[in-house]
Amino acid sequence: MERVYISDVTIKEASISRDFSLSFKEKIELSKLLDKLDVSVIELDELRNKKVDSLLVKSIASAVRNSVVAVPVDLVGEKIDSTWEVLKGARFPRLQVPAPVSIVQMEYLTQMKPEEILECIENSVKKCRSYCNEVEFIADDASRSDLAFLKQAIETAIDAGANIITICDTAGTMLPDEFEVFINKIKKVVTGIGGVRIGVACANEIAMADSSAIAAIKAGVREIKASTYNVNSISLENVAKVISSKGHVLGVVSDIRYTEINRVLNQIKWICETNRSVHSPFDMGVQDHGEESFILSAHDSQSAVAKVAKTMGYELSEDDEVKVYEAFQRIANKKGTVGRKELDSIVASVAMQVPPTYTVHSYVINTGNIITAMAHLKLTKGEEVLEGISIGDGPIDAAFLAIENIIGTHYELDDFQIQAVTQGREAMGETVVKLRSNGRVYSGHGISTDIVGASIRAYINALNKIAYEELEA
């Protein structure tokens, strides 16, 4: 029985799809779920925003223990060095070199001639192989290419050191039988292809992607690009089920943990169906905030506390590390232990305290069980009073959207916490807001008998830290 490698493209698709999107935190959570499912490869998108995407790749590379982490480079090779720099920390790294091989894509996507494409393939694959033992050449739109040129492109990649060759039916118009014949034809004409692993990717334009994947397996393909969420590609769930029940007929097995698949896929579906970016800054597809994922005690050192804070997304200066640790010791000596929410509150309260760029001038919130929540906020910036109005799914949602309306920027809401700090009808409420900007987390703290007011102040507190950093930069 031969192994079929399942390469998941969900995170990559989220970066380019109009149908769904994932936040920074959700992508990391999704990679952990895929790793737990034992998918062979987790594919990420190329580095576009160097600072944010580099942090994401590094975070996922350190979080994933079992799966290969694959990141594409640009065809001309300008991003190979920077991509490898952030990927090399992965336990099992892979560099991918995608190249258009059809006339249509070569002309309209790259404006290169065929001979220029071949030169770029050779140079990029060679450079990738000098860094990484696992290099994949992806023949985009192969099903619409000229077979003679496709042969040249694949042979060039193999000679340059590629050990995985992926054939793409990017248009998604081939029937399963056609695709099987196409794969067999490539195997017959391409020199050296018997010494590499062949993979496929199929769009699902005519609802034949899953069937084409199985046909490709019959033709000897041993890697499938699939998705755990319903996008225009091969379904990981469907292919895994076929291999599980008919693998003995096909002569193949996969490493997918079939006993975990339903639970993990339900979690992934819940994450991917969050409409956060469309409706509300509150929507978050990460269900478990990991309250008990660590417990610190008074015996833990400053470096241990700083290390945990870093895993939560905070980059503390030396001065802030000292301040956080002093506050941590005060609480730990009283309570004995400190959890995630308490450490969040400590960091928000004492770290990176900056001169305020924005202050709250006034706010009016209208809400009820028969009207849509509306917030009218005024913020002061220097001598200027800025005004914003917004509706939302609730009073705090509306308030945060009104702030975004004023500042003209949407920051990813990494976390939002509310807890009571006193009891009774006049109880004080404490809020922590965590915003993510350029991959970094900034937290703000607010406390008031008015929980909406506390939330607004926490948001502004975090916003001021971002504004101060951007001004300093």
Final residue of a structural domain among 221, 241, 273: 273
Q: Are residues 319 and 204 in the same domain?
A: no
Q: Are residues 232 and 205 in the same domain?
A: yes
Instruction: Determine, yes or no, domain membership for 42.
Output: yes
Closest by Cα among 444, 459, 446, 313 to 392: 459
| Phi-psi group of 422: left, alpha or beta (phi > 0 → left; psi -120 to 50 → alpha; rest → beta) | beta
Dump strand ranges (E) for 64-220.
68-72, 93-100, 135-140, 164-169, 197-202
Q: Are residues 124 and 198 in the same domain?
A: yes
Question: For residue 403, what is the domain's CATH number?
Answer: 3.30.160.270
H helical segments located in 132-260: 147-160, 176-189, 209-218, 236-250
Final residue of a structural domain among 321, 350, 379: 350
The string of pLDDT tens digits covering residues 328-382 is 888 888 777 888 777 888 887 788 788 889 999 999 999 988 899 999 999 999 9
The per-residue pLDDT for 278 is: 47
Q: Are residues 158 and 45 in the same domain?
A: yes
Q: Are residues 300 and 401 in the same domain?
A: no
Mean pLDDT value across the chain: 88
Instruction: Determine, yes or no, domain membership for 283.
Output: no
Confidence of residue 420 (pLDDT cuts 50, 70, 90): low
- pTM summary value: 0.75
Tallying the residues shown for the chain, one arrives at 473
For residue 259, pLDDT over 90 is answered with no
Look up residue 271 and give its two tokens: 């994450």
Look up residue 293 and give its two tokens: 């994922």
> How many angstroms from the chain centroid is the CA of residue 218?
33
User: What is the distance between the alpha carbons of residues 248 and 263, in angstroms, rounded to a whole number?
Assistant: 25
User: What is the distance between the alpha carbons of residues 340 and 337, in angstroms, rounded to a whole number?
Assistant: 10
Instruction: Determine, yes or no, domain membership for 213.
Output: yes
The per-residue pLDDT for 426 is: 53
Q: Are residues 314 and 243 in the same domain?
A: no
User: What is the distance between the alpha carbons of residues 401 and 416, in angstroms, rounded to a whole number?
Assistant: 14
Q: Are residues 201 and 308 in the same domain?
A: no
Final residue of a structural domain among 350, 374, 393: 350
Instruction: Determine, yes or no, domain membership for 288.
Output: no
Q: Are residues 248 and 343 in the same domain?
A: no
Closest by Cα among 200, 228, 232 to 214: 200
Q: Which domain holds residue 63?
A: 2-273
Look up residue 316 and give its two tokens: 């503390």
Least confident of 116-120, 280-284, 307-311, 333-337: 280-284
Cα pseudo-dihedral 127, 200, 93, 21, rounded to 10: 110
411 vs 337 pLDDT, higher one: 411
For residue 290, pLDDT over 70 is answered with no
The per-residue pLDDT for 18 is: 67
Closest by Cα among 271, 187, 257, 275 to 229: 271
For residue 292, pLDDT over 50 is answered with no
Question: For residue 125, what is the domain's CATH number?
Answer: 3.20.20.70
The string of pLDDT tens digits covering residues 422-465 is 555 555 678 889 998 887 889 988 877 788 988 999 999 999 99
Q: Are residues 27 and 57 in the same domain?
A: yes
Instruction: Determine, yes or no, domain membership for 16.
Output: yes
Contact 339, 295 (CB under 8 A): yes
Instruction: Determine, yes or no, domain membership for 368.
Output: yes
Q: Are residues 188 and 206 in the same domain?
A: yes
For residue 96, pLDDT over 70 is answered with yes
Number of domains in the chain: 3
Q: Are residues 318 and 429 in the same domain?
A: no
Q: Are residues 327 and 409 in the same domain?
A: no
Instruction: Determine, yes or no, domain membership for 286.
Output: no
The string of pLDDT tens digits covering residues 294-335 is 678 878 888 888 888 887 778 888 888 888 888 888 888 877
Biggest alpha carbon–alpha carbon distance for the chain: 80
- CB-based contacts of 428: which residues, under 8 Å, 6+ apart? 420, 421, 422, 447, 448, 449
Closest by Cα among 140, 154, 75 to 103: 140
Instruction: Determine, yes or no, domain membership for 468.
Output: yes
What integer is the mean pLDDT of 37-56?
A: 90
